[in-house]
Each structure stands twice: as C-alpha cells, then as structure tokens.
Structure 1
Amino acid sequence: MRPDVVSFWHGPLDRLRLTCLRSQVAAGHKVTVYSFDPLPGLPDGVGNAEAEAILPHAFSEKLRPPGPDGSWHGWTILQFSDFFRMRLMTERAGVWLDADVLLLKPIEIDPAKPYFAWERPRQLGNSVLYLPPDDPIVRAFEGLMKQEELTPEWLALRHRVVFALRRLRGVSDRLSDIRISLYGPPAITALARRAGELQYALPKQSFYAVHAEPKLFFEPRDFSKLLGNPDVIGLHISPKGRGHEAPIPGSLYAWAAEKFR
C-alpha cells in the first residue's frame, strides 16, 4: 500500500523543506502539511490542513508556558510535533514524514504493521513513522496525553532522577524541560521494545544515512554510491540551521534542488 504522507509545521517553510516536500509529491504520494496558520507558497500537490482539529494549540501549554506575546519558545514545536504525529496515527491519516525528509522512491507499507527505521545503533527515529491506530505505542501516548504533567510511565530511571533533582533545586517542575527528545525517538524505542516491535525496524540506511552528518548533504562530494544504494528510500536531512542557504554546486543538496524544483 502506498500511503498518504502527513506532517506538521509551525512558522515559515525554508527552501530545504520546500525541496523535500516536492520530492515527496514526486514519489507519488498525496502530501498534507498540518498547521495552525496558512502556509503560503506550498509546492504544487501539497495540501494544507487545519492542525487544531488534530491536536489543539492549547496542548502546548502542557509542555511549557507561551511567551508574553503568545508565541512558542524553546523546544515546544519539536515536542508538540512528537504528540501531533501520534494523533495522526490515531486518525489513520497516513505515514508521517518530517518536512526535511527527502524522498527518493515511494514508501510502501503494510497498514497492519509499524513502519520506522533505526536512526542510530540502539535508537529508532521518528522522522519517518507509521503505526496502526490500535498499536501499543499509540495507545501509550493516548494515555499520556490525558495527563496534565505528561509524565510517561515508561520513563527511564535516569530521567526520573534528573527530573527529581531539578524540582528540588527549583529549576523546573515540568518534565518536558529535561530533554528535547523526551517524547521522541527514546520514547518510540522504549515502547517498541516493550511491545516486541523492534523486529519491524528498517536499517539505518533506509532513511538516516546522512542524518548525523549534514555535511554529506550540504557540502560538495561524490554522492553516487548513496543514490545508487537500493536500501536508501529517503534522507532525513537534519539541516542544523542551514535550511535557508542556497545549495552549493556539487553537493547532494544542489542535485536535489535541481531534480525537485
């Protein structure tokens, strides 16, 4: 089955993300980006849907208070998206792709099975994610989201200790402040292990070949072996602030910008 592709975005999209969205359309997927405000300049074939209907904006206040002007700050966007993608799984919306996933070929899933990949040796990524709506991971997040304090029952002991110390010192009484990826890849990995679902994980090369080394994407080099690798389905870029930069000639980014324009 070739699923729809869904994601969430808050704020303006940079040129890298627009290139990646074009690649997802070019792979033959129906692509929808959810947002609270309209997203101008979306590529042809990319739809824009209202995020409030999936997860209310007010949920972000469980993560941390908004700024004086009502804006999000710190890790709010990233952590909100960790919950948003789970809500999309509940809604049977499709496969989640981060907006900075460059898709090189179509994604095919079995709707009855999880679809994710190893990001590093002992951790799954959640930049590419599909879970059946009744999956134990989805159910665990549904239970978590009913809490005001958002404290996972699967929380690792080291995180419990860190949180307890921060509360004693008066640093923060919100668990969401202790680690940016608290509800992301570590949570997915722990829950998949508990549910016996690590067997479904694709190899790292499927989506995370350049994730930890952005220079492999942004700097000039020979990328022919990467593109010729049959195990590579797409590339999660992790731009590290370089999303607005113009592509450098001879880079994989320049190749992608030309191919998906």
Structure 2
Amino acid sequence: MRPDVVTFWHGPLDRLRQTCLRSQVAAGHKVTVYSFDTIPGLPDGVGNAEAEAILPHAFSERLRPPQPDGSWRDWTTLQFSDFFRMRLMAENTGLWLDADVLLLKPVELDVTKPYFAWERPRQLGNSVLYLPPRDPIVTAFENLLARDELTLDWLALRHRLTFALRRLGGGSNRLSDIRVAIFGPAALTALARRAGELQHALPKQSFYAVHAEPRLFFEPTDFSKLIADPAIIGLHVSPKGRGGQKPIAGSLYAWAAERFGTR
C-alpha cells in the first residue's frame, strides 16, 4: 500500500525542506507535518497537525533543560524527534520521512512488516521508518517513555561505560548528553537486531545514496545515474547547514528544485 507520510518539525522551514516536502506530495502521498507552532512557508498540499497530542513539549526537559528564554538547546530537537517518530508509529499514523528526504518515486510497503534501510554497513537509518504499532521496537520505546529515567536497556557496552564514568566523575547524569544519536539510528539498530528484524532492512542505496556525501547533491555533478537508478526510492540529503542556500546550477539540488517547484 502507499502510506501516509508523517514527520515532525520545530522552527522555520528552509528552502531544501520545502523542496523535499513537495517531492513527497508529488509522489502521491498524503503528507502531514507535526509541530508545536504554525510553520510559515509550508508547501501547498502539506498538512499541519498538533504535536502536543503525540508527545508533550514538556518531554524535551527530560532530554536537557531549555535555554533561559525557553528555546531548545543544541541536540534537543534531534533527540525529541527520535522519540516523536516512535510515538507516531505507536499511533499508527503512517510512514515517517525526515523533512530532508527527497522522494523520486512513491513508497509502497507492507503494513505488517518494518520498513527501514541501511544507512551505513552496520547501522540502520531512521530517516525513513515504518513500524507496525505493536512491533517490539515500538514497545521498547513506549516502555522507555514510561520510566522516570531515560535509561536504555539496549545500550551498547561502550556507552554504558562512558555514562558510568561521567557520573562517577561528577559529569552529566543525563544519558541524552552521551551522544546526539543515542536514541536514533544506534537504538533502532540495536532493537531491530534484538527483535530479529534486520532482514527487513532495504539496501543503503534505497534512501542513503548521498547521505554521507552531500556534495553529490549540492554541488554540480553528473547525477544522471542517481535519478535513473531503479533501486533508489528517495534521497536523505543531510544538508549540514546548506538547507537555506540557493541551488547551484548543474547540481542535483537545482534539478530537484526545478522539478518540484522551489526556486
């Protein structure tokens, strides 16, 4: 089936994310962005839903204290979205796509099975994610949210040691401070392995062909093989600060902006 697409966004949308959201609509998906505030510049055809009903804003304070003005600090948005996508899976809302996933074709999936892809040789990506609502991975996150402390029972040994040493040394007692992706791809990979679900993972080329090399997207290059490759369903762009830049002529980004109407 062709699922609805859901995601979370906090703050203004840049040019790249507008392009990617338009590509998701163009692929024939119903797209909904969850947020706490109204999002200026949301593309036509993209819905907006209240995030508070899925995961309260106050949960962010369990990750790290806000700035004096109440705004979120450094990693908060990324880690909050790691939990938010799992809550969307629990609510059976559809397929999660990061707002910087450019779709080249529609996504078709079996709603009884997990849907994700390898981002690296030994790590799954969570930028593209579907899990049945009663999947063991979803249950693990629901159980985690119910605890007083966000202590992962699937935490890798090296992270357990790092956390223990920090606490003994008088450092942070928040697991969220260990690394930015502690609740993201590393957690998804560990839980998928524990649940015996790694066999469902799609090849890296499905969505992560340019993820580690943003130059292939933002800089002039021969991208004809990328857009013609039948194995590539979409591209997680990972802009690394380039999301607001104007597309450069001859780049894959310029092609996408022209195709999906963002200039």
Tell me if both proteins adopt one fold, taking TM over 0.5 as the criterion. Answer: yes
Contact 1:207–1:236 (CA<8 Å) still a contact in 2? yes
Deviation at residue 169 of structure 1 after TM alignment:
1.7
1:27-85 per-position Cα deviation (integer Å, ceiling 9, x unaligned): 00000000000012211100000000000000011101111111100100000000000
Q: Tell me which residue corresponds to 2:35.
A: 35
Q: Find the residue that maps to 2:11 and give its secondary structure.
A: coil
- How far apart in 1 are the matches of 2:74 and 2:101? 22
Amino acid in the other structure paired with 2:24: Q
Residue 66 (structure 2) pairs with residue 52 (structure 1): no
Structure 2 unpaired stretches of 5+: none
Within a 5 Å distance, the mapping from 1:139-150 to structure 2 comes to: 139-150=139-150
Within a 5 Å distance, the mapping from 1:54-203 to structure 2 comes to: 54-203=54-203
- How far apart in 2 are the matches of 1:248 and 1:218? 7
Contact 1:62–1:148 (CA<8 Å) still a contact in 2? no
Q: Tell me which residue corresponds to 1:257.
A: 257
Amino acid in the other structure paired with 1:60: S
- How far apart in 1 are the matches of 2:157 and 2:55? 29
- How far apart in 1 are the matches of 2:92 and 2:175? 29
TM-score, normalised to structure 2's length?
0.98
Q: Which runs of 4+ in 1 moved over 6 A?
A: none
Structure 1 unpaired stretches of 5+: none
Q: Tell me which residue corresponds to 2:243.
A: 243
Q: Find the residue that maps to 2:114 and give its secondary structure.
A: coil
TM-score, normalised to structure 1's length?
0.99
Deviation at residue 3 of structure 1 after TM alignment:
0.3
- How far apart in 2 are the matches of 1:18 and 1:10? 14
Amino acid in the other structure paired with 2:11: G
1:194-243 per-position Cα deviation (integer Å, ceiling 9, x unaligned): 11101100000000000000000000000001111100000000000000
- How far apart in 1 are the matches of 2:24 and 2:133? 23
- How far apart in 1 are the matches of 2:192 and 2:128? 14
Deviation at residue 147 of structure 1 after TM alignment:
1.6
- Number of matched pairs: 261
Amino acid in the other structure paired with 2:52: E
Deviation at residue 148 of structure 1 after TM alignment:
2.4
Amino acid in the other structure paired with 1:244: G
Q: Find the residue that maps to 1:119 and give its secondary structure.
A: strand
Q: Tell me which residue corresponds to 1:19.
A: 19
Amino acid in the other structure paired with 2:109: I
- How far apart in 1 are the matches of 2:74 and 2:223? 34
- How far apart in 2 are the matches of 1:21 and 1:226? 19
Alignment RMSD, CA only?
A: 0.5
Contact 1:79–1:181 (CA<8 Å) still a contact in 2? yes
Q: Find the residue that maps to 2:216 and give its secondary structure.
A: helix
- How far apart in 1 are the matches of 2:60 and 2:148? 11
Q: Find the residue that maps to 1:232 and give its secondary structure.
A: coil
- How far apart in 2 are the matches of 1:146 and 1:69? 28
Change (3 A) 1:74 1:148: farther
1:137-172 per-position Cα deviation (integer Å, ceiling 9, x unaligned): 000000011122201101111101000111122220
- How far apart in 2 are the matches of 1:46 and 1:59? 26
- How far apart in 2 are the matches of 1:86 and 1:119? 18
Amino acid in the other structure paired with 1:252: L
- How far apart in 1 are the matches of 2:22 and 2:139? 32
Amino acid in the other structure paired with 1:156: A
Amino acid in the other structure paired with 1:15: R
- How far apart in 2 are the matches of 1:35 and 1:251? 31
Residue 232 (structure 2) pairs with residue 232 (structure 1): yes
